[in-house]
Structure 1
Amino acid sequence: MNFRINWEALGIAASVACAIHCAVVPLFITSLPLFGVNIIHNVFVEVLLLGAAFVIGFSTLWHGYKKHHHHWGTLVPFSAAMVLFTVNQFVHFPYSSFLFVVPAVALIITAHMLNHRFCRKANHCHSTDCNH
């Protein structure tokens, strides 16, 4: 039985999970303290989620880079986005979330779209005529 991981799908799923987390958590702000649960603005939970998103997303893009297109244009915007997300966790001023999160999301979407495009374009790689 040959088991293969679809890294692009896993990266997209991680990004969607992150987006759902960011959208759903505010909905539970009023109810979680009633149950004694405090995960809102919990630095440990946020850093854990950022770390997981970085590992999964970077692995996805690294797979495309290493196995298919050899183009850094996917890893740089993704890494910049993760830096923006991390800065957003530790810098707080009015509209800081808007200034950091919106560009970060745009960069992550761009990185995954470029990775998909570069992988499709390099479909010939690792055949007999491939030179790398």
Structure 2
Amino acid sequence: MKTFKLNLDKLGITASTFCAIHCAIVPLLLTFLPLWGLGFLADERVEIFMIVISLLLGIWSMSSSYRKLHRKVTPSIILITGFLLIALGHFSGIKHLEPILIPFGGLAIAAAHFVNLKLARNCPAPNN
């Protein structure tokens, strides 16, 4: 019987990539979303929900891997950079930067999970 093991980094890569795609495509499709029954995707609450899920997964994954495995801060620095880009895009008030900064922030978060996953896989044994 196969057991299922949740890999937070793979889940984080998926969530943050979807977030980046969502933030890049929604402004282009804004007028068509209601016609397709997908108007809820343009809702600010959906964006905040995706950001919060990515943030929780990132913190959980990076802190767990740092403490138990690799002891490297690089993934956390990339993660923080990604969230700073997203925050700057959302709260700077410069509307023409939002569709640029937020997708790059999402991709940076996915990259942080990818780096974390690679570092964790290269560890010989967990540190206690």
Could you state the TM-score of these two structures normalised by the residue count of structure 2? Answer: 0.73
Aligned to 1:120: 121
Q: Is the 8 A contact 1:77 1:107 kept in 2?
A: yes
Unaligned 5+ segments in structure 2 are none
Give matches, 1:59-70, under 5 Å.
Answer: 59-70=60-71
Aligned-pair Cα RMSD in Å: 2.9
Question: Which protein has the larger Cα radius of gyration, Structure 1 or Structure 2?
Answer: 1
My pick for the range that moved more, 104-113 or 4-13, is: 104-113
User: Does 2:78 correspond to 1:77?
Assistant: yes
CA distance in 1, matches of 2:4, 2:103: 36
Aligned to 2:102: 101
Instruction: Sort the Cα spacing of 1:9 and 1:38 in 2 relative to 1 into closer, same or farther, 3 A.
Output: closer
Encode CA deviations 1:57-90: one digit per residue, 9 max, x unaligned.
2222223222210112111220221122022112
Q: Is the 8 A contact 1:14 1:57 kept in 2?
A: no
Aligned residues between the structures:
126
Instruction: Sort the Cα spacing of 1:73 and 1:57 in 2 relative to 1 into closer, same or farther, 3 A.
Output: same
Higher relative contact order, chain-length normalized (CA < 8 Å, sep 6+): 2
Q: Is the 8 A contact 2:21 2:103 kept in 1?
A: no
Instruction: Sort the Cα spacing of 1:53 and 1:109 in 2 relative to 1 into closer, same or farther, 3 A.
Output: closer
The sequence identity of aligned pairs, in percent, is 27
Aligned to 2:49: 48
Shift of 1:33: 4.6
CA distance in 1, matches of 2:20, 2:101: 14
Could you state the TM-score of these two structures normalised by the residue count of structure 1? Answer: 0.71
CA distance in 2, matches of 1:97, 1:4: 36
Unaligned 5+ segments in structure 1 are none
